[in-house]
Amino acid sequence: MTLEFVAPQVEFAGVSKIYARGHVVLSALDLTIAKGEFVTFLGPSGCGKSTVLKLISGLTPPNSGTIHVDGMTPKNARETVSYIFQEATLLPWRTVRRNVSLGLELDGVNGDRRREKTASLLDLVGLGAVGDAYPRELSGGMKMRVSIARALATNPRLLLMDEPFAALDEMTRDRLNEELLRLREEQKWTAVFVTHSVAEAVFLSTRIVVLTANPGRVHSVIPIGLPFPRTAGLRTSSEFGTLVLQISRSLREATLQ
């Protein structure tokens, strides 16, 4: 099992990204993310956390350096990658069911296969009962579940998440964190996650990358050795508390730099 996890899935080699007016968002980033990892990027705003995801997905090209996903260019690897955005970004004119099946539809998966897959995912995220509802009838947490189901429907090997739970209340966020890990146990995708919340990062990750801003550089990389499966009780343990403190300190250093 560990052997399988060693192969690199995402490789950054000297990647820089400069936006308009010379603002250096990322500077000479070298980083390898192995299969099966759950890597979270933490950092002050403007440090290029979200840009990392945009680069991996090929939605924006780097100014220098190279990025490989499964040994391919980001655009060629898109088939195996799913992206979960800050908001649920559902199509309001489609029912929950048809939102979940959107990715499959765009990929040209045939009707029966699509229906079957959609139904099983709705059950997986606990939305089996609201398949025919429209997004506006759902709470923020339920919308995010739909978004997760849509992302997982295409069997991704790599899941990119850009502060997906930032807009939710803390209890909903904690619940969804736990479910996300449960889904990961079942489906074994690799995850690259971006958040502002240190506790969320510690709970989810196998490794945390703290970035500095202006220019965006890696400040520190901290492995999180807490064993899986992780459950709600972990949050009150002393190891968890220690890690949160340690990372909060790194984050403060990164912000002050």
Partner 1 sequence: MKRRLPPIANAVCVFAALLLLWQSVLWIFSVPSFMLPSPWAVAKAVVKRFPALMTSLSITAEEAGGGLIASVIVGVAIALVFAQSRWVRRMLYPYTILLQTVPIVAIAPLILMWVGAGASSVALIAFIISLAPIIANTTQGLVSVDENLIHLFLMHNASSRQLLFKLRLPYAIPSLFVGIRIASGISVIGAITGELYAASSRVGVGGLGYSIQYASAQLQTDYLFALVLAATVLGFAFFFIVMFLEWYFLHRWHESARTLETE
User: Residue numbers of the site for partner 1 (CB under 8 A)?
Assistant: 57, 59, 78-79, 81-83, 85-87, 89, 91-94, 102-103, 105-107, 134-136, 154
Considering the complex, state which of residue 154 and residue 214 has its C-beta at the smaller distance from partner 1: 154
CB burial readout 221-245, b (16+ within 10 A) else e: ebebeeeeebeeeebeeeebeebbe
Considering the complex, state which of residue 117 and residue 219 has its C-beta at the smaller distance from partner 1: 117
Tell me how far apart the alpha carbons of residues 51 and 148 are, in angstroms, rounded to a whole number. 20
Q: What are phi and psi of 106, to 5 degrees?
A: -65, -30
Q: How far is the CB of 14 from partner 1 (least distance, A)?
A: 25
Considering the complex, state which of residue 147 and residue 206 has its C-beta at the smaller distance from partner 1: 147
Q: How far is the CB of 244 from partner 1 (least distance, A)?
A: 30
The answer to whether the CB of 32 falls within 8 A of the CB of 25 is no
Q: How far is the CB of 107 from partner 1 (least distance, A)?
A: 6
Q: How far is the CB of 91 from partner 1 (least distance, A)?
A: 7
Q: Are β-strands 158-162 and 81-84 bridged in parallel, bridged antiparallel, or unpaired?
A: parallel
Considering the complex, state which of residue 43 and residue 103 has its C-beta at the smaller distance from partner 1: 103
Considering the complex, state which of residue 20 and residue 106 has its C-beta at the smaller distance from partner 1: 106
Tell me how far apart the alpha carbons of residues 137 and 58 are, in angstroms, rounded to a whole number. 33
Q: What is the CA radius of gyration of the chain?
A: 18
Considering the complex, state which of residue 89 and residue 220 has its C-beta at the smaller distance from partner 1: 89
Q: How far is the CB of 74 from partner 1 (least distance, A)?
A: 10
CB burial readout 118-150, b (16+ within 10 A) else e: beebbebbebeebbeebbeebeebbbbbbbbbb
What is the widest separation between alpha-carbon atoms in the chain? 55
Q: How far is the CB of 11 from partner 1 (least distance, A)?
A: 20
Nearest alpha carbon to residue 159 among 86, 68, 209, 84:
84
Considering the complex, state which of residue 105 and residue 174 has its C-beta at the smaller distance from partner 1: 105
Q: How far is the CB of 95 from partner 1 (least distance, A)?
A: 9
Bridge partners (DSSP) of residue 42 are 210
Q: Where are the alpha helices (DSSP H) in the chain?
A: 2-6, 49-57, 96-100, 102-106, 111-124, 140-152, 170-187, 198-204, 238-256
